[in-house]
Structure 1
């Protein structure tokens, strides 16, 4: 059963399209991550909290529409904010008892403390906790609220490994309880680690990131006596591995590919993802998509190139059309090839 429905939702700010019309359903027991820029993440969060109106469309939560951008008492939503204050002078246990009373929760405080591994710190003042322990307390506060829909903003940003493991365990438990979880993040690794379904939201719209369980559907590995490592690639998407999950990128998403110490890395919207294939293999497969081997260590998506800069007679660079104006080296012997591709003399 659906808990959150975004129906043709779009957001404009003055003359700028923050994101175009999108549709998304999040059902009971589903964990969905929306990967975006910080600005879009904040905008989405403001929409879900009723601080901003959508330009068009409807937001339904638990089968009730958000009227005029407001949340009703029936719409049971819990929020985990990136920047959220805690009552520093209270003990950990008293902090949870306070919120247990505010939300008239029937859940046991001791059980929640055990879940977030703070049972040994229950009498400790909040101000004496480490950053990661405060994040666990923030999660505990949300758990004792017991909402139907969890909205988590960057839940694992800057936390230690133990806290990240605890949050992953909690997320899996909430799934089994039929809770719906939406994670808003600008970190693709976090999105993939926590979620079953990952989407990238930009001014171009909402794009689902494919994460097949195995490589077999996309890759065929062929061994021979002469070359045991020979790989036959037959795909229209480029696989990369993050944590223990495989994700598939559409070639047009890739800005450029860089090889360092034998490892190929896909660069997409300011993030880097390791790829299991060599630069030579990727060059062959991506040529038909408009990719160009501009340097022995780089392949660039020519659709993303804004400028070709000549520094000296023998030194050139390609400047990409992104916020960082990423600079990619262009070899002298590749300049002639590029001119031929562009139809220049």
Structure 2
């Protein structure tokens, strides 16, 4: 199935996003374009999961899964699905499900669905790590079923949780996000603060408070707690300035403060994330080639 980019951006374009059997895609789409993206999928034979409950609340989990299995005439067994997705109490009423449990039900629904094309919109917002692992298991099964999967994420780091190869859609169209690491080291540890832009003002941020830096659409953003600031710098230049302060280029588009790293998680064979020690537990993509090196640096801190 093809998705016309002009229906998402509202601008003339011959570009198309192609969903292919037994293949998955991950696309970062700004929040302001997600609604038009979702609208472009209506009447297209796509099964869209956006985290909103779409179930008969009077039923319990087991009964609803069995209902879906029969509706789609799926060979999968209800008991096996309950066990696979770690559902502790299948007698729970759907009206009492929390977001974590609704996500699991969405995963099961995707596996049972008769649709060949499956789309998940922002599946990693406000989720838990166990559910991300379950997502990757579901993804593998969908590929084995010959289905196509598209993950649309409003945050670039969430798109990289889905898989290493990511695209993005903005007002200029569809683009491939480069992931090759080729930055040169040029350390300079002579500063303790760094200049950033906050609206029309220039402010100075203490370097040790910075959690990570990210490059998007030609701009470098500095993340500090719940705040995000624009740096008047390239990511390579910022990395050179911050290397001696314990910062590390974990991905072409990201530099993390190693002192803020809580853990490293392997989602699948080629997909990794660095977890930042903040209330949001921010998940920063980690290049496969950097997996061993970052662990060595963390040990030496």
State the distance in 2 between where 1:271 and 1:183 align.
24
State the distance in 2 between where 1:117 and 1:102 align.
23
1:100 to partner: Cα distance: 1.8
Given the two structures, how large is their TM-score scaled by the length of structure 1?
0.53
1:11 to 7, 14, 27: 7
SS of 2:15's partner is strand
Alignment-derived partner of residue 153 in structure 2: 185
1:188 to partner: Cα distance: 1.1
Alignment-derived partner of residue 105 in structure 2: 137
1:210 to 158, 169, 178: 178
Change (3 A) 1:272 1:98: farther
State the distance in 1 between where 2:206 and 2:237 align.
10
1:21 to partner: Cα distance: 3.2
On the 8 A contact 1:112/1:143 being kept in 2, the answer is no
**Higher-Rg member (1/2):** 1
Alignment-derived partner of residue 103 in structure 1: 72
Aligned residues: 217
1:277 to partner: Cα distance: 5.4
Change (3 A) 1:259 1:32: farther
Unaligned runs of 5+ in 1: 51-69, 72-76, 223-228, 231-255, 284-345
State the distance in 1 between where 2:59 and 2:2 align.
38
Given the two structures, how large is their TM-score scaled by the length of structure 2?
0.60
Change (3 A) 1:165 1:259: farther
Unaligned runs of 5+ in 2: 189-201, 224-233, 243-301
Change (3 A) 1:185 1:102: same
SS of 1:190's partner is helix
More displaced 10-residue stretch of structure 1: 183-192 or 21-30: 21-30
State the distance in 2 between where 1:260 and 1:193 align.
29
1:255-334 map, 5 Å:
260-261=206-207, 265-266=213-214, 268=216, 272=221, 279=238, 281=240
Alignment-derived partner of residue 228 in structure 2: none
State the distance in 2 between where 1:280 and 1:193 align.
23
Alignment-derived partner of residue 28 in structure 1: 21
Change (3 A) 1:89 1:167: same
Alignment-derived partner of residue 158 in structure 1: 126
Change (3 A) 1:148 1:11: closer
1:181 to partner: Cα distance: 0.7
Counting helix residues as a fraction of each chain, which structure ranks higher? 2
Change (3 A) 1:17 1:149: closer
Counting strand residues as a fraction of each chain, which structure ranks higher? 1
Change (3 A) 1:19 1:43: farther
State the distance in 1 between where 2:53 and 2:221 align.
29
On the 8 A contact 1:11/1:17 being kept in 2, the answer is yes
On the 8 A contact 1:149/1:179 being kept in 2, the answer is yes
